[in-house]
């Protein structure tokens, strides 16, 4: 029998009863436990009642301090118990997930103060787990100075990884959080990546990622994942079913997109195709292992030759983009013909496989996997026929060239596979509307019918926050000013950088300043992100230098009393924003400025996280002299 936190009357609508109980929580139960009654929470609760009762999509724009997380958690948990299916809470990234599930986080608060046992399980992105195959390679690399580090990690893996064991003895392992001291570049050597073919991996049954998937699927209340992972679930849902695999996530009752304004970018990432020549070759050569017909063997060999030629042409038909690690592809007739010919050869293989499957010369499971890969590659290459609909670029690494193909617009996929379902969908963020309208985000995501509301933050920013704005200076002059501010700041200090390149430069310069070494510094990339945040929060005089923590970082109290914006966070010089600028009539006003203001507002919001907080935000930026950005920023207060 389902356990509800209130007396349930089956003769009355469930959501109305849940809403009455949630009102009691905010009016009576939490205030008795020392929480203040917030009108914003009550208002939001009644708005979410409409979305859950009507199974509709709602944009819930609520400022810092409104307690929006507690509201959507209560609805998600009670509705999950009513439907018998867990709710999914999708966060913008892994650091936001950790903020939600940490021991003093909102889920723990609900469980403690409401005497409510919440079954919440993490569903982390695949790149947050050790890949046993990549670990084997790292351990065996005699020329790598880090090999001893990986050998120690390998030796400490669970015993069942190294030798046969009963299934009952398996348990989740290999999570990025289990290795907090590894820098990001060290972790990337052994972490799963998109070029791993897990379906045929001989170690998949002992893989930490596989075992964790079995664990979180059994959640009864909440499954917490990232936006990227949720969209990967949506994008691979049908393909995994065709392959006889379970979808990444189980059927769920509702979904909440925390920091929902970032969902479009996550969807683009999930729908991105990445192709390598050596990966294609490894896929199709599996077909040569059986006793196949000569015509199929010839088609496979021809496709491999054409793949190699295509990637040579791609390299020759591209140019380096300054300030980035990508190469821009210059499409010409020769390259277009090579792509078309490669697609034809893939089609030839697919036709040959129809005949071959009737002869049973190939393993049926292997055949399905190859067919799925070929279909995906063929579809990805077909997008070149619609250059106005896609963004393409090349990335070069030690394994050669990677061709990246990303769709510009994702709303068709979202409309069909997410928003057409009869299911409550909640977008939660402090920044969802543009000039009071939600049409911009709704149109970009393909949402035609929705509910919406806005609730301002109850905090008096103008009284609690000092805002100092400095025109752009030379890097050295700015460095001196930041070091001066650091010396004058007694509490914890957060420095937000728009890029890892700028953070790396600051870190290098700081190494030469011995007079500033008495303080403890936490640099994003030097360890697992939640480990760094925890260390910063414990040391009230430390400095946290970050690139990805403009959103979601929640550190109230003296651990954070000063936020420094190293430079205005305009969009990066990547293929996505280059394409958006090319499509815009006024690129700066339509693309760069809205992105920068939205991100800047989020960054400023890291300072005041409770009614007792106060402090300073210092912003450096070169655009202050040319535009009215200074006044727009002051309107945030």
Q: What is the pLDDT of residues 522-537, one digit of tens each?
A: 999 999 998 999 899 9
506: left (phi over 0), alpha (psi -120 to 50) or beta: alpha
Helix spans in 84-143 (H):
94-101, 106-113, 132-140
Rounded to 10 deg, the angle between the 364-382 and 227-242 helix axes is 120
Cβ atoms within 10 Å, residue 293: 13
Is residue 589 exposed (0-12), middle (13-18) or buried (19+ Cβ within 10 Å)?
exposed
Mean pLDDT for the stretch of residues 108-123: 89
Structure-block tokens of residue 47: 């708005």
SS (H, E, C) 230-297: HHHHHHHHHHHHHCCCCCCCCCCCCEEEECHHHHHHHHHHHCCEEEEHHHHHHHHHHHHHCCCCHHHH
DSSP codes joined into one string, 482-514: HHHHHHH--S-EEEE-SSHHHHHHHHHHHTT-G
Give the model's pLDDT for residue 39: 85
What is the three-class DSSP state of 37? Answer: coil
Sheet with 390-397, strands from edge to edge, namely 273-276, 400-407, 390-397, 326-329, 318-320
Give the model's pLDDT for residue 445: 86
Mean pLDDT for the stretch of residues 294-305: 92
Cβ atoms within 10 Å, residue 84: 10
Best-predicted range by mean pLDDT (31-45, 218-232, 606-620):
218-232
DSSP for residue 90: E
What's the mean per-residue pLDDT of the chain? 86
End-to-end CA distance of the chain: 50
Confidence band, pLDDT 50/70/90 cuts, at residue 99? confident
C-alpha radius of gyration, the chain, whole number = 26
Residue % of the chain over a pLDDT of 70: 94
Q: Which residues of 9-44 are buried (b: 16+ CB within 10 A; e: fewer)?
A: eeeeebbebbbebbeebbeebbeeeebeebebbbeb
Residues contacting 551, CB < 8 A, separation 6+: 92, 96, 259, 262, 602
Give the model's pLDDT for residue 249: 94
Whole-number Å distance between alpha carbons of 121 and 252: 13
Q: Which residues of 512-530 are buried (b: 16+ CB within 10 A; e: fewer)?
A: eeeeeeeeebbbbbbbbbb
Whole-number Å distance between alpha carbons of 167 and 390: 45
Least confident window among 55-64, 265-274, 532-541:
265-274
Give the model's pLDDT for residue 348: 93
Is 409's pLDDT higher than 80? no
Confidence band, pLDDT 50/70/90 cuts, at residue 629? low
Is 168's pLDDT higher than 80? no
Least Cα distance to 345 among 374, 370, 325 occurs for 374
Whole-number Å distance between alpha carbons of 347 and 364: 19
Is 136's pLDDT higher than 80? yes
DSSP codes joined into one string, 53-82: HHT-EEEEEE-TTS-HHHHHHHHHHHHHHH
Mean pLDDT for the stretch of residues 590-595: 82
Is 1's pLDDT higher than 60? no
Structure-block tokens of residue 129: 């787990």
Give the model confidence (pLDDT) of 177-195 as tens digits.
Answer: 899 999 999 999 999 988 8
Whole-number Å distance between alpha carbons of 364 and 156: 37
Give the model confidence (pLDDT) of 446-488 as tens digits.
Answer: 898 999 999 888 887 778 888 888 876 788 888 899 999 988 8
- The residue with tokens 């009863």 is 17
Whole-number Å distance between alpha carbons of 621 and 625: 9
Is 238's pLDDT higher than 60? yes
Give the model confidence (pLDDT) of 4-46 as tens digits.
Answer: 899 999 999 999 999 999 999 999 998 888 887 788 888 999 9
Whole-number Å distance between alpha carbons of 61 and 168: 45
CA distances from 26 to 35, 46, 65, 107, 230 (A): 9, 12, 14, 15, 30
Beta strands in 341-432 (DSSP E): 390-397, 400-407, 425-429
Least Cα distance to 519 among 546, 555, 483 occurs for 483
Give the model's pLDDT for residue 293: 84
Whole-number Å distance between alpha carbons of 227 and 232: 9
Give the model's pLDDT for residue 555: 87
**Is 414 within 8 Å of 255 (Cβ atoms)?**
no
Is 429's pLDDT higher than 50? yes
Give the model confidence (pLDDT) of 490-502 as tens digits.
Answer: 778 999 999 898 9
Is residue 614 exposed (0-12), middle (13-18) or buried (19+ Cβ within 10 Å)?
middle
Least confident window among 117-126, 135-144, 354-363:
354-363
């Amino acid at each position: 029998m389902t356990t509800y936190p209130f007396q349930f009357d089956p003769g009355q609508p469930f959501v109305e009863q849940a809403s009455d109980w949630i009102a009691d929580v905010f009016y009576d139960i939490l205030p008795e436990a020392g929480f203040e009654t917030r009108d914003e929470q009550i208002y939001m609760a009644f708005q979410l009642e409409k979305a859950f009762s009507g199974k509709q999509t709602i944009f819930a724009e609520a400022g810092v301090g409104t307690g929006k997380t507690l509201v959507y958690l209560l609805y998600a948990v009670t509705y999950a118990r009513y439907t018998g299916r867990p709710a999914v809470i999708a966060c913008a990234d892994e650091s936001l997930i950790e903020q939600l599930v940490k021991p003093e986080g909102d889920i723990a608060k609900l469980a403690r103060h409401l005497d409510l046992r919440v079954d919440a399980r993490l569903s982390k992105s695949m790149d947050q787990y050790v890949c046993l195959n990549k670990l084997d390679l790292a351990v065996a690399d005699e020329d790598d100075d880090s090999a001893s580090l990986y050998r120690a990690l390998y030796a400490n893996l669970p015993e069942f990884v190294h030798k046969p064991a009963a299934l009952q003895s398996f348990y989740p392992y290999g999570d990025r959080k289990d290795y907090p001291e590894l820098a990001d570049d060290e972790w990337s050597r052994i972490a799963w990546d998109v070029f791993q073919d897990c379906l045929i991996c001989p170690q998949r049954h002992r893989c930490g990622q596989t075992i964790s998937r079995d664990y979180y699927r059994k959640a009864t209340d909440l499954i917490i994942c990232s936006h990227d992972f949720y969209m990967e679930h949506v994008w691979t849902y049908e393909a995994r079913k065709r392959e006889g695999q379970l979808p990444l996530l189980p059927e769920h009752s509702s979904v909440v997109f925390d920091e929902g304004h970032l969902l479009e970018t996550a969807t683009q990432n999930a729908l991105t195709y990445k192709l390598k020549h050596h990966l294609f070759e490894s896929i199709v050569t599996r077909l040569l292992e059986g006793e196949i017909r000569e015509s199929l063997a010839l088609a496979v060999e021809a496709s491999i030759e054409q793949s190699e030629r295509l990637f040579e042409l791609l390299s020759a038909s591209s140019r380096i983009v300054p300030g980035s690690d990508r190469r821009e592809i210059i499409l010409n007739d020769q390259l277009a013909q090579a792509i078309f010919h490669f697609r034809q050869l893939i089609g030839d293989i697919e036709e040959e496989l129809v005949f071959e499957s009737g002869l049973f010369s190939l393993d049926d499971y292997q055949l399905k996997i190859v067919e799925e890969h070929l279909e995906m590659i063929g579809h990805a290459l077909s997008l070149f026929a619609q250059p106005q609909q896609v963004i393409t670029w090349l990335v070069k690494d030690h394994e050669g060239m990677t061709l990246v193909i990303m769709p510009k617009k994702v709303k068709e996929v979202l409309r069909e596979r997410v928003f057409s379902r009869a299911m409550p969908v909640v977008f939660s963020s402090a920044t969802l509307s543009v000039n009071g309208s939600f049409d911009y985000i709704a149109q970009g995501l393909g949402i035609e019918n929705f509910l919406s509301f806005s609730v301002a933050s109850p905090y008096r920013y103008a009284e609690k926050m000092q805002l100092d704005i400095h025109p752009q200076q030379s890097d050295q002059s700015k460095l001196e000013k930041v070091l001066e501010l650091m010396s004058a700041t007694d509490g914890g200090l957060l420095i937000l950088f728009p890029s890892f390149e700028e953070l790396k430069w600051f870190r290098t310069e700081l190494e030469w300043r011995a007079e500033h070494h008495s303080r403890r510094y936490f640099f994003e990339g030097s360890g697992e992100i939640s480990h760094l945040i925890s260390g910063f929060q414990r040391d009230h005089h430390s400095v946290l230098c970050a690139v990805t923590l403009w959103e979601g970082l929640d550190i109230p109290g003296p651990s954070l009393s000063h936020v420094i914006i190293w430079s205005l966070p305009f969009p990066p010089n990547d293929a996505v924003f280059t394409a958006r600028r090319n499509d815009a009539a006024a690129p700066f006003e339509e693309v760069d400025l809205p992105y920068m203001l939205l991100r800047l507002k989020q960054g400023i919001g890291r300072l005041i996280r409770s009614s007792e907080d106060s402090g300073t935000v210092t912003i450096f930026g070169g655009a202050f002299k040319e535009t009215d950005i200074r006044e727009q920023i002051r309107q945030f207060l």
